Amino acid sequence: MASSLTRDSADQSTEKTFFGHPRGLATLFMTEMWERFSYYGMRALLVYYLVSGGADAATGSQGGGLAMTAATTTAIYSVYVSMVYLMAMPGGWFGDRVWGARKTVAIAGFVIMAGHLSLAAPGQAMFFVGLILVAAGSGLLKANISTMVGHLYNGPEDPRRDGGFTLFYIGINLGAFVAPLVVGTVGKEHNWHLGFALAAAGMGLGLAQFLLGTKHLSPKSSIVPNPLSAEERKAVLTKVVLAVVGIAAFYGAVVALGAYTLNWALVPLTLAGLFIPIAVLTRIKRDKDLSGAEQSKMTAYIWFFIAAAVFWMIYDQGGSTLSLFADDKTADTVFGLGFSATWYQSLNPLFVMALAPVFAWLWVWLARKNQEPNTIVKFAMGLVLIGASFFVFIVPMNMAGGDVKVSPMWLVSIYMIQTIGELCVSPVGLSVTTKMAPQKYASQMMGVWFLAVTAGDCITSLLSIGGVDLNGLGVIALQAAAAVVAGFAIYAYRKKVQALMGDVH
């Protein structure tokens, strides 16, 4: 980006800053921007590469993919996204107990780049190895890079802290906006593997930026806050080795018997993505060390968690169900100018960058008038909006048929409605998670929040594996109705939930 380093007029020092913030923020901003460029570029290609060459690919689309059905593609996509967010919890554990945040992020960058290079290599086996590496690396990075942003400031009371995270959030969305336009277009319209290679190059740039700029980061980022003892390390290694050997032996036997299919991998991952969030919430809720007030807040938090899972179940289909519709049933020209269907994936980050400041101003303005909706009402609004987006989706689905393709503006409208819903749920959910977290689990609860995404995407995957046609009109209507009903249910029970929340509003 253009010269972004300015002098800090507040302290009149000669040290260069990044828009008035610690210079290390520029390092983390650029690292995250390029990591998101690689991640969202690859994600924009994923469903199209999986269906390419198969019966569910759009007419005239590029060949050379894996020729899978739309149902299998949706299941793989949903499992992959769910695993990225599931891996955020062990990623945070590695940062806290093994390597420290800085080293964990550096290792994550190498793992992600290796994953994209694996995707760029031909062959189905290399493709799935690449997905595993990208998911694992993204989980390691996601959990630690935000922590490093916090390390740049003098505690929660530093007046620059919120502004620093806002700039960091812009970096996330900037990378996500550009990626489908570049990586998506090259990969989908010209060569799949070149597109995946561009994603690897993006992560390489981010990693180089990080390694060159580490001298500007806080020394706290190199510290392991709660290192494993020698006994704990030995116990963990033993458990990991036994688990790996057990899994390898089991799947080796399945393959040897000739019984292996893709569902042998998808079903266990999907079930794990559902059971792990339930197990984590149950463990926290049943912890006898929690006070009565903390127990009450956790009961209320479960309401928000379930609501968020329903929200993400629909929202994340923007990269699968909506993407397949965009390629097959939506016109690919505007005013005579053609574009790739991957470009639709740039709409959400574009709308986030445009609308997030508006919503931030709106909540403050309403608060001054004592009319700001509380957290429960915002969640209800988000659920109703995500449901409404799929009700709108029904209209172009009915219009498209045979050779008839609908206007791109239908999908633009749907993505905009979903983004407005996201702005009512995602930042609010992050905030309420920090406010309602029991003291004992303060550092773990952000990972718990991400598990809502895992649960929602695993529900989508389970439906696809079970043979439910998620591209069918009836299923789209059912999901829309479920979200709207959930939104109204939360609103109807808002007084009960608020009572459980205690002093959190």
On whether the CB atoms of residues 433 and 303 are closer than 8 A, the answer is no
pLDDT exceeding 70 applies to what percent of the chain? 96
Tell me, what DSSP letter sits at residue 21? B
pLDDT for the residue numbered 428: 84
156 — pLDDT class (breaks 50, 70, 90): low
CA distances to 135, 218, 475 from 74, rounded to whole Å, are: 16, 41, 14
What residue segments make up the domains of the chain, in order of their start? Answer: 16-215+222-227, 274-505
Kindly report, residue by residue over 209-220, the tens digit of the pLDDT: 999 999 999 999
H-helix or E-strand containing 6? Answer: strand 5-7
Is 16 buried (19+), middle (13-18) or exposed (0-12) by CB count in 10 A?
middle
Is the per-residue pLDDT at 19 higher than 80? no
* Mean pLDDT of the 309-327 span: 95
On whether the CB atoms of residues 68 and 208 are closer than 8 A, the answer is no
On whether the CB atoms of residues 419 and 355 are closer than 8 A, the answer is yes
On whether the CB atoms of residues 125 and 191 are closer than 8 A, the answer is no
Most confident of 42-51, 87-96, 425-434: 42-51
Show the DSSP H helices in 152-191 as ranges: 161-179, 185-189
pLDDT for the residue numbered 8: 39
| Averaged pLDDT of the chain | 90
CA distances to 20, 95, 272, 307 from 116, rounded to whole Å, are: 35, 23, 25, 33
15 — pLDDT class (breaks 50, 70, 90): low
On whether the CB atoms of residues 206 and 30 are closer than 8 A, the answer is yes
CA distances to 17, 179, 340, 345 from 332, rounded to whole Å, are: 43, 18, 7, 14
pLDDT for the residue numbered 337: 86
Is the per-residue pLDDT at 336 higher than 60? yes
Of 429, 397, 379, 263, nearest to 330 by C-alpha is 397
Of 48, 37, 40, nearest to 340 by C-alpha is 48
Question: Cβ neighbours of residue 288 under 8 Å, at least 6 residues apart?
Answer: none
1 — pLDDT class (breaks 50, 70, 90): very low
Tokens of 503: 């002093």
- Residue 358: how many CA atoms within 13 Å on its side-chain side? 9
56 — pLDDT class (breaks 50, 70, 90): confident
On whether the CB atoms of residues 185 and 343 are closer than 8 A, the answer is yes
* Lowest-confidence pick of 52-61, 69-78, 284-293: 52-61
7 — pLDDT class (breaks 50, 70, 90): very low
Kindly report, residue by residue over 186-210, the tens digit of the pLDDT: 999 999 999 999 999 999 999 999 9
Alpha-carbon distance of 503 to 505, in angstroms, equals 6
Fold of 274-505: Growth Hormone; Chain: A; (1.20.1250)
Same fold, 16-215+222-227 and 274-505: yes
pLDDT for the residue numbered 478: 96
Of 62, 80, 90, 169, nearest to 127 by C-alpha is 80
Alpha-carbon distance of 287 to 418, in angstroms, equals 36
pLDDT for the residue numbered 333: 87
* Mean pLDDT of the 415-433 span: 90
Is the per-residue pLDDT at 14 higher than 80? no
Of 411, 1, 358, 23, nearest to 174 by C-alpha is 1
Kindly report, residue by residue over 375-415, the tens digit of the pLDDT: 899 999 999 999 999 999 999 999 997 788 999 999 999 99
441 — pLDDT class (breaks 50, 70, 90): confident
* Mean pLDDT of the 353-382 span: 90
**Location of structure tokens 């989508």:** 460
- Higher confidence at residue 210 or residue 10? 210
On whether the CB atoms of residues 40 and 202 are closer than 8 A, the answer is no
Alpha-carbon distance of 492 to 228, in angstroms, equals 47
Instruction: Tell me if the domain spanning 16-215+222-227 has CATH number 3.40.50.300.
Output: no
CA dihedral 261, 121, 115, 52 (to 10 degrees): -60
On whether the CB atoms of residues 16 and 26 are closer than 8 A, the answer is no
13 — pLDDT class (breaks 50, 70, 90): very low
Kindly report, residue by residue over 98-124, the tens digit of the pLDDT: 999 999 999 999 999 999 999 999 889
Of 187, 194, 172, 140, nearest to 46 by C-alpha is 187
16 — pLDDT class (breaks 50, 70, 90): confident
CA distances to 89, 111, 171, 331 from 236, rounded to whole Å, are: 16, 21, 36, 53
